[in-house]
Structure 1
Amino acid sequence: MTKGPDTSRSRAGQGAAQARASRRPMRTDGEATRARLLEAAGSLFAEHGFAETTNKAIAAEAEADIASINYHFRSRAGLYREVLVEAHRRIISVEELRAIAGSALPPEQKLRAFIARIIGQGLDGQGWHARVLSREVLSPSSHLDVLPVAEIGAKMEIMLRLLSEITGLAPDDPALRRSLFSVLGPCAMLVVAAPRITPLADDVLGMGPEVLVDHLCRFALGGLRAISGTA
């Protein structure tokens, strides 16, 4: 009589193969391609803007297939929106801001650490993040609305709690919310607008980060003390 297949041995072989597969590291080719596309797009969008940057140029810069843009980001617009979110994170991420706010530093020093981070990242000429945000803020597109949803909301809540520590005002106090814009406005101006309004800003930017951070902190704290009635 002809014997049938040894199913127990077959099942054992399959189990061993599955075990070997489970021990293999996960492929990161897709993650690497996505990261290259994001970097290439960020650099090109910063230099040429969204409208003037093609999928072909992005793919060539990233050494990737054009189809990979749609695969990872659905479209060039989807890629641009991810670039905007990434640019905002590189200025300061939610995790970095939480670390500053949750540190053992006095509240005034926490504010200084925050401002130092913003100015340091914004004036870093090596990155594309500030230039991308500069283009978008000075000439907004329909894609700018991704930032409040993805990044700005969480960061605002952390900053309001920090300003509450400094002033004694409740985080939901309208005066504190107005103060937040007063604190962030000069920082945003230096990061986003100043590089594009030279020579008007040359003298200010040439002072160096430490001088700028010191001035912005003193200016912000003076206003916060006035609002809280402790000036």
Structure 2
Amino acid sequence: MASRESRKDGEATRIRILEAAGELLATLGFAETSNKAVAAKAEVDLASINYHFGSRSGLYQAVLGEARRRFLDIADLQRIIQAEQPAPDKLLALTELVVRKASRGRESWHLRVLAAEALAPSSHGQEVLHPQKALKLTLLKQLFSEITGIPADDPTLVPCILSVTAPWAMLLIGPRGGHGALRDILDMPGEVVTAQLYSFTLAGLREVGRQYQLRATAADC
């Protein structure tokens, strides 16, 4: 019983440190956030931070990992893209998820931390974010291939990923500012933002697929 209670206390302390670090990193950035400041905000001693995270870098990586999980984890992509439903429905579900998480989390530290890392990548952050990039790209190419009819390994799909995910990234970065168009967009009903993003994305992908088929037909003539 004592051991179980100790584990509960340890996990509670870890979460408290993680939340305190997230808030400070979102506000001040990695360079200006010290373990001492985190310890003070979390009301723990420095030894607790070292015990749970090993180092300042380890704490930052843990914060980034939690932020990524809260925004759009690889499990979210796998669940949606590998589902048994038409590709346009998968795209709609993915767009809905991104808009919903961006809207709900705009005042939370996890979006601001991810935005800061996206705008000024650090070596500490890349260790956390890079390993999943390849799998995420593969999953997105799989979905776009289903919509466009273009083979998933064709380079034509690479610009599609940028065109589709850029608005998602802007939704992520938008909450860093107090005012402006991005803030106004996030104040709109989620279903309105989702519908417009989805319509533009689906139409764009279908047009890329149509042009691809025209080029393929011309090449065969």
Q: Does 1:88 align with 2:50?
A: no
Q: Does 1:182 align with 2:171?
A: no
Offset of 1:110 from its aligned partner?
0.9
Offset of 1:66 from its aligned partner?
0.9
TM-score by structure 2 length? 0.83
Q: Is the 8 A contact 1:138 1:193 kept in 2?
A: no
For 1:202 and 1:145, the matched residues in 2 are separated by 28
2:35 corresponds, among 31, 44, 55, to 55
Change (3 A) 1:206 1:92: same
For 2:24 and 2:164, the matched residues in 1 are separated by 31
Q: Does 1:201 align with 2:220?
A: no
For 1:146 and 1:193, the matched residues in 2 are separated by 24
Q: Is the 8 A contact 1:195 1:201 kept in 2?
A: no
Compute the RMSD of aligned alpha carbons. 2.4
Q: Secondary structure at the match of 1:103?
A: coil
Bigger fraction of residues in helix: 2
1:220 corresponds, among 201, 212, 220, to 201
Q: Secondary structure at the match of 1:144?
A: helix
Q: Is the 8 A contact 1:92 1:118 kept in 2?
A: yes
For 2:154 and 2:177, the matched residues in 1 are separated by 35
Offset of 1:25 from its aligned partner?
4.8
Offset of 1:69 from its aligned partner?
1.6
Name 2:15's counterpart in structure 1. Answer: 35
TM-score by structure 1 length? 0.80
For 2:96 and 2:59, the matched residues in 1 are separated by 29
Name 2:101's counterpart in structure 1. Answer: 121
Name 2:51's counterpart in structure 1. Answer: 71
Q: Does 1:130 align with 2:111?
A: yes
Unaligned runs of 5+ in 2: 214-221
For 2:50 and 2:183, the matched residues in 1 are separated by 41
For 2:52 and 2:183, the matched residues in 1 are separated by 40
Name 1:171's counterpart in structure 2. Answer: 152
Q: Please list, as runs of the form range in 1=range in 2, the aligned pairs for 1:90-169 lying within 5 A after superposition.
A: 90-124=70-104, 125-169=106-150
Offset of 1:195 from its aligned partner?
4.2
Name the aligned partner's letter for residue 96 of structure 1. Answer: D
Larger Rg, first or second structure (1 or 2): 1
With 60-69 and 178-187 compared, the bigger mean Cα shift is at 60-69
